[in-house]
Structure 1
C-alpha cells in the first residue's frame, strides 16, 4: 500500500475512533492497534505509533473535556500518576519480552462482567452518584497504563472501573480517564524511545495520520459526552466494554466467523434494548389522590 494512502487511511481511522473514544472513553487505542497490526506492523512498532498518536489526540481530548467541565481532578491526577508508571513498564515489557499480550482471558472475562453490570445499571436508570471514591484509581491507572502501552487498552480498563465504583457522573469518569491517558501515553512513548527507538521511526508516518484524525474529532466528542443522558451513556459504555473485551477473549479461540458475527449481532440487540430502558408503569393512584382528582373535575 502506498504511504500516502496508508496515512490517509490512518487519519480516517483516527477520526472515527476518536469520536467514539472521546465520547465514551474507549475505542481509539483498540481500533488503532487493530489497524496497525492488521497491515503487518510488528507489535512493538504498532504500540510505539499508537503511543505517539494517543499523546496528541489525548492532549486535545483532555483540553476539550476540561473546557466542558467533564473532569474530576483528584481522580484524574491519581490516574495520571499511576498510568505513567504502568505505561513506562508496558513499553519496557513489550520491547524486552517476546510473545507479550496485553489481555488475558481472566482479565477480559472480569471486565466483560463489569461492562454487563454497567449496561444493566444504565438500562434501569441506576447511576449511583455521591462523594467520589478515589482509592481504587491507583491500581486502575497502573493496569490501564500497562494495557495501553501493550495493546491500546487504557480506556477499556479504566473507564468501566471508574463507572463501576467511583460514583462520578459518567461524563466526568470519561473526562478524567482522558486526562489520565495523556500521562500514560507520554510515559509509554518515553519507554519506547529508550528501549526500542527504531520502532518510533518506522511507525511515525502512520502515527501522524492517526493523531491528525484524532485531534480533529476530540473537541466534538468531548462536547457530545455531556449531551448524552447519564443512564444511556452508562449503558453504552458498558456494552462497548463487553464488545471490546469479548474481542480480546475470543481472539485466540479460532471460532468460525458466523458464530462471532452472531455474538456481536446479539450484543447490538442487547445494546438497543439497554438504550430504551425499562417500560415505566404509572404509580398506583392513592385514595386521597383519586378524591382530589374527582373533586377538581367537579
Structure 2
C-alpha cells in the first residue's frame, strides 16, 4: 500500500469523522466508498471500515462523554443490540454472496424520515421531553447489521433516534457514537471468526482512516454541543436525505446533470432549513394609560 494511499485515507478519515462526530453519520459511508473505489472485495472493505470505526468510536465516545453528549440509558441498550447486529451482519457478509443492506425501499423510507427531521429543524418544533427507551434495541440491531454490511450505522440509527427518542440532538449523536463502537467491535469479532484473512488485507488504509478520525473526533464532539438544536436537526435531516439519495441513484440510470441538479436542490433546501421560517412581528398593542382625573370644581 503506497504512502499516498494511506495519506489519502487519513484525510478522508478526518473529514468523515468531522461529519460523523458532529452529525452522527458519514464515517462508514465515506470509508466504504473510499475502500470500494480502489477495488477491494466487500468483506475486506467492511472489515477495514469496522476496524477504523472502532478506534474512531473510542476516541469520539470519550470526547462526547467529556462534553455531556451521551444519554447512557439509551446508549447502553443501543450499543448492546448494535454489537449483536454487527456480529450477525459480518457473519452474513462473510457467508452470503451479493448481500447488500441498502435497498431502495429502506433508503426511501429513511429519506422520508430525513425530510421530517429537516422540516422540524426548519420550524424549530423539536419533540424534546422524557426520553423513550423501548426503540433502542430494535434500532441497534438493524443499525449494527447495516453498519457491518455497508457502513450504514449512522444513516440508519441517527434519523430513527432523532425522530422517536425525544432526546436533544447532541445526546442522540453522542449516544450513537458510543453504540457504534460496540457495533464495530461485534462486527470485528465476527470477521475474525469467519473471515480472518479480510482483517489483514486493508489494514494500512484502515490505520490511515483511524488516524484522521482520531484527530477530528474531539473537535467534532465539541462542535455538537455548540450548534443550535434546530439547525443541527435540520442538517441531520438533509444529510440523511443526501446519503440515501446516493444509494437510490446507484440503481437508477440517471444522467449526471440531473443528479447534480438534485444535489444542488438539496443544498438550497438545506440553506433554507438553516435560516428557518421568518417570525412575524408581534403586533404592538398601544399602552393603555389611565384617563386623567377631572379637576374638582
Shorter-normalised TM range: over 0.9
Please list the CA deviations of residues 80-108 of structure 1 after superposition, one character each: whole Å capped at 9, or x if unmatched.
01100100000001010000112011110
Matches within 5 A, 1:77-96: 77-96=76-95
Partner of 2:258: 259
Q: Distance in 2 between matches of 1:131 and 1:195?
A: 42
Residues 216-245 of structure 1: per-residue CA shift (max 9 Å, x gap): 100000000000000000000000000001
Structure 1 residue 252: Cα displacement? 1.4
Q: What's the TM-score once normalised by structure 2's chain length?
A: 0.96
Where does residue 140 of structure 1 map in the other structure?
Answer: 139
- 5+ residue gaps, structure 2: 292-297
**2:195 corresponds to which residue?**
196
Equivalences, count: 291
Could you say which residue in structure 2 is the equivalent of 1:223? 222
Cα deviation for residue 293 of structure 1 reads 8.5
- Structure 1 residues 293 and 161: alpha-carbon distance in aligned structure 2, compared to 1, 3 A threshold: farther
Residue of structure 2 equivalent to 1:291: 287
Query: 1:78 deviation in Å?
Result: 1.0
| 1:163 is aligned to 2:166 | no
Instruction: Return the alpha-carbon distance in structure 2 between the equivalents of residues 225 and 126 of structure 1.
Output: 19
Give me the whole-angstrom Cα distance separating, in 2, the residues matched to 1:160 and 1:154.
10
- Deviations 1:126-179 (CA, angstroms, capped at 9, x unpaired): 111110001111111100000000111000011111110111000000000000
Alignment of 1:32-47 (within 5 A): 32-47=31-46
Distance in 2 between residues matched to 1:257 and 1:82, nearest whole Å: 39
For 1:37 and 1:208, the matched residues in 2 are separated by: 16
> 1:53 Cα shift?
0.1
Shift of 1:111: 0.3
The offset of 1:254, in angstroms, is 2.5
Q: Measure, in 2, the Cα distance between the counterparts of 1:161 and 1:69.
A: 21
1:182 aligned to 2:178?
A: no
Runs of 4+ in structure 1 off by over 3 angstroms are 292-295
Gaps of 5+ in 1: none
Residue 235 of structure 1 is matched in structure 2 by: 234
C-alpha separation between the residues in 1 aligned to 2:93 and 2:289? 70
Listed as ranges, the matches of 1:19-168 within 5 Å are 19-168=18-167
Where 2:197 maps in the other structure, the secondary structure is helix
SS in 2 for 1:130: coil
State the Cα distance separating 1:294 from its structure 2 match: 11
Partner Cα separation in structure 1 for residue 239 and residue 215 of structure 2: 22
Larger radius of gyration, structure 1 or 2? Answer: 2
Cα distance in 1 for partners of 2:46, 2:19 equals 20
Q: CA deviation at 1:284?
A: 2.5
State the secondary structure of the residue aligned to 1:53: helix
CA RMSD after TM alignment: 1.3
**Residues in 1 aligned to 2:282 and 2:104: alpha-carbon distance in whole angstroms:** 45
Local SS of the residue matching 1:291: coil
Alpha-carbon offset, residue 7 of structure 1: 0.6
Q: Partner residue of 2:206?
A: 207
Paired with 1:116 and 1:134, the residues of 2 have a C-alpha distance of 23
- The CA deviation at 1:255 is 1.4
